[in-house]
Amino acid sequence: EQQLAQAAEQLSQEAAVRAAWQQGGRHERNRVAALIDLQLDQLNRSGVNAGVLCTLRRMVLEVEA
C-alpha cells in the first residue's frame, strides 16, 4: 500500500509539473504576442519599421525567465 501511495503521489507531482510547464509556456507566448501587438501598433502609427523591430527584439531578450 505504501508503494502504491508513493507511485500515485509521484504521478500526481509529474502531472502538476507538466501542467505548470504548459501554463508557463502559454503565459510567455501571450506576453510575447502582447509585445508584438504593441510594436505593430507603433508601426501602424509611425511608419517606422527597423527601429521598432530592434526594440521588439530587445524587449523579448530582456524578458525575465
What is the number of residues in the chain? 65
Tell me how many degrees the CA angle 26-30-34 measures, rounded to the nearest 5.
Answer: 175
Whole-structure pTM over 0.75, yes or no?
Answer: no
Nearby residues of 60 by Cβ (< 8 Å), 6 or more positions away: 32, 35
Higher pLDDT, 5 or 52: 5
Q: Which three cell numbers stand for residue 46?
A: 509611425
User: In this predicted structure, what is the pLDDT of residue 64?
Assistant: 65
C-alpha cell at 52: 521598432
**In this predicted model, what pLDDT tens digit does every residue of 18-32 receive, in sequence order?**
888 889 988 988 888
